[in-house]
Amino acid sequence: MFKKIVFKNGLRVILVPQMSTQAVTALVLVGTGSKYENKETNGISHFLEHMFFKGTKKRQTKMEIAEDLDRVGGIYNAFTSQEYTGYFAKVSYSQAELAIDWVSDIFLNSILPRKEVERERGVVIEEINMHKDDPVSYVQTLWSKVLYGDQPAGWDVAGTKESVSNISRDDLLKYMKNQYTASNTVICVAGKINSSRVLKQIKESFSNIDSNAQKSKPKVVERQTDPEAITEDRKTEQTHLCLGVRGYNLFDENRFIQDIISVILGGMMSSRLFMKVREEMGLAYYIKTESAQDTDTGFLVTRAGVDNKNVDRAISAILNEYKIISQVAVPERELKKAKEHAKGKLALELEPSDAKTSFYGIQELLENKIMSPEEIFTAINRVSKKDILRAAKNLFKSEKLNLAAVGPKPDKEKLRELLVL
């Protein structure tokens, strides 16, 4: 299903032929993000991502960069997370050569014009303002903060207005030189491709990538002995909540068990929390439980927006479902439904070429190995009722509970008192 090639300089290439599509996606991933930053440069990974669209040696203006793909109907963008940054172009298969040339050009040859750095600084700050104005989005930023506090894992990926205001062009150039290296980069191309032709072009296009050793990220410190809560006062009609626990990371054998627990609790419309909190109690329009894993962190969290007067009831209902799943074995029929849901959802998500590049590329970048969909299905199938009960007992303990809330004058201490299982 895929082919992996490692060049002498450590650059990794993943090719995923898909003859059933008319599209090709070229994705370049670099193993750096907000966890690699310090306090003064928080947000630099995200800022640099923005700057790669402002001009290269070949495409000297932002208009040239945009027009090259606009004129063929291409889809292109970039993204930054705590542990990786990615740049992609998706085009008709007849334009595959253009997509690879374009993404390699912005990745390797961006010139970071000084005027554009100053102009884009304002754009990034407005993006920070936009997310802060959206309580559904901002409560998730607070969720990271309540889990990890004042360390890179607890900071906003976009940084703060203060840190972004002080990042210089020299800072961006130095960070790029330290992190954007061959051994820290994965290129993934998926879709209707001629593999040998694509590989040849990649070898030529990325021949001048730096071979320096990248800087590593600091180890995440996780210490918690009591339930924790963080709140922010907002004049909103709803209070938005993130309520959950620290969980298993990418390298933990329990990661798939945690994923299935999240599906059972709130990962589908027939899940326990959706049926209880929305359908039976009528407390929320949206309620969802999610499982997330990085190389050194993981969590399970339930997100919901509820009427301000119903916050206590919603928290109690969520905690009750956490308690039940940690004390009573999941019925076989419900476990089977959750497994089939997880497998079916992954199969559907992997239909487009851009999803394939992320699926294969991010695994290779973060784990240095790739599980095929079939191998993941096998891991999911192995999850038993005993596994669910054992992992849930470990996850759902009062001292591991964390809550983030955004709403009108939330009482932090009162909310903390509710965090009991």
Q: What is the mean pLDDT of residues 1-12?
A: 95
High-pLDDT (> 70) share of the chain, %: 100
Checking if the pLDDT of 132 tops 90, the result is yes
Which of the following is catalytic: 37, 40, 49, 64? 49
Half-sphere exposure of 70 (CA within 13 A, CB side): 6
Q: What is the pLDDT of residue 227?
A: 97
Q: What is the mean pLDDT of residues 232-256?
A: 97
Q: Mean pLDDT, the chain, as a whole number?
A: 97
**Active site (annotated) includes residue 127:** no
Does the domain at 228-418 match CATH 3.40.50.12160? Answer given as: no
The alpha-helical segments, DSSP class H, found in 217-290 are 255-266, 272-273
* Exposed e or buried b per residue across 326-365, where buried means at least 16 C-beta atoms within 10 angstroms of its C-beta: beeebeeebbebbbebbbeeeeeebebbbebbbbbbbbbb
Q: What is the pLDDT of residue 343?
A: 98
Cα separation values, 223 from 39, 82, 148, Å: 20, 19, 8
Average of per-residue pLDDT across 159-179: 97
269: Cβ contacts below 8 Å, ≥ 6 apart: none
pLDDT at 364: 98
- Can you point out the beta strands (E) in 18-130? 23-30, 75-80, 85-92
CATH number of 3-205: 3.30.830.10
pLDDT given at position 351: 96
| pLDDT tens-digit readout, 301-349 | 999 999 999 999 999 999 999 999 999 999 999 999 999 999 999 999 9
* Distances, alpha carbon 196 to alpha carbons 3, 7, 15, 372, in Å: 11, 15, 10, 22
Helix (H, G, I), strand (E, B) or coil at 147: helix
CATH topology agreement for domains 3-205 and 228-418? yes
Can you give the residue ranges of every domain in the chain?
A: 3-205, 228-418
Specify the DSSP class assigned to residue 4: E
